[in-house]
A and B are shown apart, each in its own frame.
Chain A
Amino acid sequence: MAARQETVARVEEIDVDAYKYGFTTDIESEKAPKGLSEDIVRFISAKKNEPEWLTEWRLEAYRRWLTMEEPKWARVDYPPIDYQDLYYYSAPKSTPGPKSLDEVDPELLRTYEKLGIPLREQEALAGVEQRKVAVDAVFDSVSVATTFREELSKAGVIFCPISEAVREHPELVRKYLGSVVPVTDNFYATLNSAVFSDGSFVYIPPGVRCPMELSTYFRINEKNTGQFERTLIIADADSYVSYLEGCTAPKRDENQLHAAVVELVALDDAEIKYSTVQNWYPGDSEGKGGIYNFVTKRGDCRGKNSHISWTQVETGSAVTWKYPSCILRGDNSQGEFYSIAVSNGYQQVDSGTKMIHLGKNTKSRIISKGISAGNSQNTYRGQVSAHRKAEGARNFTNCDSLLIGDKCGAHTVPYLESKNASAVFEHEATTSKISEDQLFYCMQRGLSEEEATALIVNGFVRDVLQKLPMEFAVEAQKLIAVSLEGSVG
């Protein structure tokens, strides 16, 4: 009964305002002037000592961005964003690229400690085998620390901030950057290409199984800043990596923009497992403040038998616009998408995936669980397509929505496009509320309504939670209970 007690305990300890990570860190930062122009793009590029080709690449993206329009098709509603009223670069002043953790501002270290992110590389206790997780911590626009780098480099794995990769491994960055999400892909991706600051770069050499979980922790701290991180993960032939990202931000009355781009490349027989626990500040109970999370994530199964799996737990952000996708280019490649999206308060979520079947015998699986409560709107939007040559493509999609309360909305918008007779697509979706019978059964056994709801919700999302790395599954489960706090009764 440990799980049950934990759920109960978790529900009990929550006070009215459940967002635990809403504190701010008082730290001096260096910012670029407000607004966006070619000069700002050059400024960011210069700050990072980037080579000429990348500066030009950014400028080209910027010029392109000026001609583009913000997408309006998602089921989300927010006031227009003034892109000139944002800071596009903000870095803690005290850390001009620390070499070791001892040089990192203690205030920053305390911040990550409070967030529960281990930046100290704990020495393994004698006799106790501890699972290690390497962390890259990104604070506003810069990476402040990356752990376990030495141990990783012994295995040949490169794990570093992307700005460093540009300098140290230009050949890899140049070859793969923008090869999955082209510069001109969409409004936010193009904006990101122009002003991206930090993010993680991962390269797993052929035949290597990454010895530990990799993880990046994103924190927005400064007011009026946007965070534009860029992550690039390359799994070379026959390699494996599991990567996790987490995100939080302080409570602020204003909305802040987060427009990231994540690119994954899996070559022959490689596997990438990408998990996200997204817990940006969702705004207060009146719907004031919160993060706009406009993210482009795409994986390219470039090689044969490659495998990319996205798992996401989305509980935060005021507005989410996010569709982690897989391009199944290599024959026999596989794409997976497991998602839990929880919305409460006035949150708006429009999320889902795309599975583009190009190669022969490609397979994809989509499991999406949406839970909406309060006054929130939760939309699943997904596309599955098979092209002419995608002989034997196979997809299974299941999206279930759970409604808690009568003021929220749950929507399902799947697109299934098949151009190949041998492709087999199956899609099923259901929407319902927690059944009275289930609630009655639990309550009759002594659980309060809230506890019973938490228990049923945990059961509802179990399929997806099981796909998360173990440590994070526990965290995610707690997070879901917290997010739904106050939604019953």
Chain B
Amino acid sequence: MTVQAIDKKSEAETALAGAFEAMKGKGASALRQASWEFFARKGLPTRRVEAWHYTDLRASLRSVAPLGAPGAITLPPATDGRLRLVVADGAFRPELSDVAALPAGVELSSLADVLAKDDAAVLAALGLPENAGADAVVALNAALMQDGVVLRVAPATEVAKTIEILLLSTGGEARSSFTRSLVLVGDGAKARIVETSLALTPSGAQENHVLAFSIGAGAEVEHIADIGPQSESAIRLFSLLVTAQAKAVFKSLGFIEGGGLVRRQIFARLAGEEASVALDGVSLLGGKHHADTTLVVEHAAANCKSRERFRSVLDGQSTGVFQGKVVVRPGAQKTDGSMQSRALLLSENATMNNKPELEIFADDVVCGHGATCGRLDADQLFYLVARGLPKHEAEALLIEGFAGEIIEAIGEEAARDVYFERIRSWLANRGDGK
């Protein structure tokens, strides 16, 4: 296979080639090689790539931070009732994780181990799902993946505790990391997985995380991607790949709280009949944050249902992006799809870009989308101020209601409180929007 060189490699692209040389011997060499060749052909995405229309990664990623080993780590206290798996700066750290506490029916390995053994079943699941195949960032991750966790939930197992994959950035000197985690959920099993991106100290970290779910028939998975604050120079890319078999249920909430450049992309494929996905999101942005949520929901089987609800709150000079695409393949009759993206602009200099798309190749479907963009409703604000609330508090109340609608759908009760609290403290810290 010949690799067609792109016209002129950017400095970052050249540095990534160096990183690939370092990683290519670390297992799964065929997958790495094919993925690298794909990436090398495409290069880093620019605005000319339709799926990256509002986020120019090639321009943002000027140079590549080194792949680095973390130093000593002091972990923050764990959330009650959660089992924690720590992946720090690209390496799984079993000694910091609740490995022993994992219940029966849940099997854990580190990705690095699995890759070293060339485990065929896992490699097959790691191969690019069809609908994410054209994305250069997912391919880059496959070429450079360092570590991550592989969780297998046995069929019909109900995992009572929430399993948290803690993607930790230790900070200090800026580092690059490429993690890939895989969750294989057997038929009829139930699990709750939280993926938390946490910076111990803010840094210009460059992270590329992939989390892939393969959800068996009738299984139920609830997922939260908690993308916490980070430095304005950080670049974090999160790709969520989901394949849902017949009657599987997948729910996911993305909670994005700022950070330089955040791109969250979701490729969900409804592969079996009567499967359903519900994707929600809340973004709270200020400063010069740029947060992009791009998702593709592919209805590949009949009688499936998808729901997407996203809320963006934009302050300062931040930019929010929502690109949602619902694809209904030929034969996916009786599809029920609905997508909604709403944005609140709190400051004169904030920007919101919405691109909800429908791509429909079957006739017996009901699909719709709605998108709105505007500022706080003056009448509502007036109503509250007239009742004696200071303007700032009145605004906070309305914003909390706007984002809170999504938070209320979280199944895990403790988590609901956590996110309401996070919204409140974000509001308290935002100043008066000037």
> B189 — which chain A residues lie within 8 A by C-beta?
none
B283 contacts the other chain (CB 8 A): no
**Given the interface contacts A406-B330, A429-B369, A432-B367, does A421 sit within 8 Å of B361 by beta carbon?**
no
- Whether the Cβ atoms of B362 and A419 lie closer than 8 Å is no
Q: Distance in Å from the Cβ of A56 to the closest Cβ of chain B?
A: 32
Q: Distance in Å from the Cβ of A389 to the closest Cβ of chain B?
A: 10
- Whether the Cβ atoms of A421 and B347 lie closer than 8 Å is yes
**Given the interface contacts A418-B373, A425-B373, does A412 sit within 8 Å of B365 by beta carbon?**
no
Interface size on B, residues (CB 8 A): 37
> A425 — which chain B residues lie within 8 A by C-beta?
354, 371-374
The docked-state distance in angstroms from the alpha carbon of A429 to that of B349 is 28
The docked-state distance in angstroms from the alpha carbon of A414 to that of B371 is 10
Contact with A along B59-72 (1 / 0, CB 8 A): 00000000000000
Of B50, B360, B372, most buried by chain A (CB within 10 Å of CB) is B360
- Nearest B residue (CB) for A379: B359
A431 contacts the other chain (CB 8 A): yes
**Given the interface contacts A73-B50, A431-B365, does A410 sit within 8 Å of B360 by beta carbon?**
yes
**Given the interface contacts A431-B368, A432-B365, A433-B365, does A409 sit within 8 Å of B348 by beta carbon?**
no
- Whether the Cβ atoms of B356 and A414 lie closer than 8 Å is yes
Which of under 10, 10 to 19, 20 to 34, or 35 or more describes the interface residues of A?
20 to 34
Contact with A along B350-389 (1 / 0, CB 8 A): 1111111111111111111111111100000000000000
- Whether the Cβ atoms of A421 and B364 lie closer than 8 Å is no
- Whether the Cβ atoms of B373 and A409 lie closer than 8 Å is no
> B369 — which chain A residues lie within 8 A by C-beta?
412, 427-429
The docked-state distance in angstroms from the alpha carbon of A388 to that of B359 is 31
- Nearest A residue (CB) for B355: A415
- Whether the Cβ atoms of A416 and B354 lie closer than 8 Å is yes
- Whether the Cβ atoms of B363 and A406 lie closer than 8 Å is yes
- Whether the Cβ atoms of B351 and A427 lie closer than 8 Å is no
> A404 — which chain B residues lie within 8 A by C-beta?
363
Considering only residues 417-472 of chain A, those with a C-beta below 8 Å from chain B are 417-433
Contact with A along B325-365 (1 / 0, CB 8 A): 00000110100000000010111111111111111111111
Q: Distance in Å from the Cβ of B282 to the closest Cβ of chain A?
A: 19
- Whether the Cβ atoms of B360 and A411 lie closer than 8 Å is yes
Q: Distance in Å from the Cβ of B433 to the closest Cβ of chain A?
A: 9
- Whether the Cβ atoms of A419 and B351 lie closer than 8 Å is yes
> B357 — which chain A residues lie within 8 A by C-beta?
411-414
- Whether the Cβ atoms of B356 and A427 lie closer than 8 Å is yes
> B348 — which chain A residues lie within 8 A by C-beta?
388, 420-421
- Whether the Cβ atoms of A418 and B356 lie closer than 8 Å is no
The docked-state distance in angstroms from the alpha carbon of A173 to that of B412 is 68
- Whether the Cβ atoms of B50 and A427 lie closer than 8 Å is no
Option from A421, A428, A431 in Cβ contact (under 8 Å) with B345: A421
- Whether the Cβ atoms of A414 and B355 lie closer than 8 Å is yes
A483 contacts the other chain (CB 8 A): no
- Nearest A residue (CB) for B331: A406
- Whether the Cβ atoms of B354 and A420 lie closer than 8 Å is no
- Whether the Cβ atoms of B368 and A411 lie closer than 8 Å is no
Interface of B is mostly: strand
- Whether the Cβ atoms of A418 and B365 lie closer than 8 Å is no
- Whether the Cβ atoms of A418 and B351 lie closer than 8 Å is yes
Considering only residues 116-167 of chain A, those with a C-beta below 8 Å from chain B are none
The docked-state distance in angstroms from the alpha carbon of A432 to that of B337 is 11
- Pair count A-B, CB < 8 A: 118
- Whether the Cβ atoms of B367 and A416 lie closer than 8 Å is no
- Whether the Cβ atoms of A421 and B358 lie closer than 8 Å is no
Q: Distance in Å from the Cβ of A33 to the closest Cβ of chain B?
A: 37
The docked-state distance in angstroms from the alpha carbon of A416 to that of B372 is 9
**Given the interface contacts A412-B357, A421-B348, does A427 sit within 8 Å of B367 by beta carbon?**
no
Considering only residues 179-213 of chain A, those with a C-beta below 8 Å from chain B are none
A178 contacts the other chain (CB 8 A): no
The docked-state distance in angstroms from the alpha carbon of A424 to that of B376 is 10
Q: Distance in Å from the Cβ of A387 to the closest Cβ of chain B?
A: 10
The docked-state distance in angstroms from the alpha carbon of A73 to that of B375 is 32
The docked-state distance in angstroms from the alpha carbon of A85 to that of B23 is 52
A408 contacts the other chain (CB 8 A): yes
> A344 — which chain B residues lie within 8 A by C-beta?
none
A287 contacts the other chain (CB 8 A): no
A339 contacts the other chain (CB 8 A): no
Of A415, A418, A422, A428, most buried by chain B (CB within 10 Å of CB) is A418
- Whether the Cβ atoms of B362 and A411 lie closer than 8 Å is no
- Nearest A residue (CB) for B327: A411
A405 contacts the other chain (CB 8 A): yes
> B351 — which chain A residues lie within 8 A by C-beta?
417-419
A401 contacts the other chain (CB 8 A): yes
- Whether the Cβ atoms of B363 and A411 lie closer than 8 Å is no
- Whether the Cβ atoms of A411 and B371 lie closer than 8 Å is no
Considering only residues 81-98 of chain B, those with a C-beta below 8 Å from chain A are none
The docked-state distance in angstroms from the alpha carbon of A430 to that of B357 is 11
The docked-state distance in angstroms from the alpha carbon of A433 to that of B362 is 9
A232 contacts the other chain (CB 8 A): no
- Nearest A residue (CB) for B347: A421
> A408 — which chain B residues lie within 8 A by C-beta?
361, 363
- Whether the Cβ atoms of A431 and B358 lie closer than 8 Å is yes
Contact with A along B234-271 (1 / 0, CB 8 A): 00000000000000000000000000000000000000
- Nearest A residue (CB) for B321: A417
- Whether the Cβ atoms of B363 and A418 lie closer than 8 Å is no
A272 contacts the other chain (CB 8 A): no
- Whether the Cβ atoms of A423 and B374 lie closer than 8 Å is yes
Q: Distance in Å from the Cβ of B377 to the closest Cβ of chain A?
A: 10
Q: Distance in Å from the Cβ of A230 to the closest Cβ of chain B?
A: 29
- Nearest B residue (CB) for A431: B367
Contact with B along A370-404 (1 / 0, CB 8 A): 00000000000000000010000000000001011
Please name 9 pairs of A and B residues whose Cβ atoms are closer than 8 Å in the assembled complex, sorted by A. Answer: A73-B50, A406-B333, A416-B355, A419-B351, A424-B375, A427-B356, A429-B370, A431-B358, A432-B365
**Pairs of residues from A and B, 7 with the lowest C-beta to C-beta distance, nearest first:** A421-B345, A403-B363, A424-B374, A416-B354, A430-B368, A412-B358, A427-B371
